[in-house]
Amino acid sequence: MDINKSLICPKCNGLHFEIKRMATYLYTYKVNTPLTEDWSKESEALPFLFDNRELISSKEHLQCKECGAQFPCDLYSKDTKVHFTILQKAIRTDLVKEPNFFG
């Protein structure tokens, strides 16, 4: 998707858009490790952190906020000029030992 120019909806000439993404992930949690055994001794409830997240499927589209028209877009194309920090950090967490999603 080339965003060097202003986007204009071809159906209503609207100028306001949202990118919507629906994704399915497979999360893996390691249990019965030395770390999780130590956590089980804590008296307070702790978050259960995943060890790996694998993208199974995703579908993205650009949606006009004025008329609701939807236009497919591919956020994974090597030619895309749209880069979202959270996508860059979250999609390939299987290659990172300690994923960092903030910053």
Q: Which residue has the tokens 């960092």?
A: 100
Q: pLDDT averaged over consecutive 10-residue blocks of the chain (103 residues)? A: 70 91 87 68 67 88 93 73 54 55 49
- For residue 38, give both structure tokens: 């130590």
- Counting every residue written for the chain, the total comes to 103
- The string of DSSP codes covering 69-95 is -EEE--TT-TT-----HHHHHHTTGGG
Q: Tell me the pTM.
A: 0.53
Identify the CA nearest to 36 among candidates 21, 24, 26, 51: 51
DSSP 34: H
Q: Which residue has the tokens 């060890």?
A: 51
